[in-house]
Amino acid sequence: MSASPVSEPAERLSDIDIALYALYLLGGWQKRVHTEDVALRCFRLAPTKFSWAKYPRYPDLTPARHALEDAKKAKYGRLVKGASERMRSAGKTSGWMFTPEGMTWLEAHRDRIERVLGKGRPTGDRLPAERRIRDLRNSRAFAEFLSDRKNADVSHAEFAESLVCTVNSPASVLNERLDQLATIAEQLHESDVAAYVDFCRHKFADLLSQGGRSNV
């Protein structure tokens, strides 16, 4: 059953609680989600907390954006990665997605949030995530990893191919694909996929650090 709008009970939750639950409902564990989509879902879940003060019939983008930006900070556990679309001109990747730490947080707090907001049904389906896992499992690199684990002899080209990339893909793209795999693995309880991500981050650390890593 879809979550129904609430008013006063939502005051017991923080803006971060509601924004991250909205991001989860919108599939933010397998893809980046636009800030405005998160803000609209927050408004539908808790209209008194995410509306304009003078015109409460309209959703307010600001509290949702601030909640996501806070959830990204180290002091909150780096629960999400991304940036609002207004940062696009600064060269940052826009939209929001859970980190593996964020998915762990969600699993720990989802029951508490749903007791207040009601249980929502995530939109879309798991096909994109399942397709990404299937592509990885069909790759030569993953087969080699399963056969020899930490001693697997995986080349740069094989590593890139396992992420549906090429040897010319920049470090930022490779890191983004690894982060996405890690979050999907956390949600779908794919422990061998999570282990492969850790293996690649160690084996290709120099390659992945080229140009630096960011939490966007």
pLDDT value of residue 1: 40
Range(s) within the chain of domains with CATH label 1.10.10:
8-117
The CB density around residue 12, as the number of other CB atoms within 10 Å, is: 11
Smallest CA-to-CA distance from 102 within 41, 187, 173 is with 187
Burial 70-90 (b: 16+ CB within 10 A, else e): bbbeeebebbbbbbbeeeeee
pLDDT value of residue 137: 95
pLDDT per residue, tens digit, the chain (216 aa), is 444 444 457 788 999 999 999 999 999 998 899 999 999 999 999 999 999 999 999 999 999 999 999 999 999 999 999 988 766 545 556 899 999 999 999 999 999 999 999 988 777 667 778 889 999 999 999 999 999 998 999 999 999 999 999 999 999 999 999 999 999 998 889 999 999 999 999 999 999 997 555 455
For 8-117, CATH gives: 1.10.10
CA 185 – CA 18 distance, rounded (Å): 23
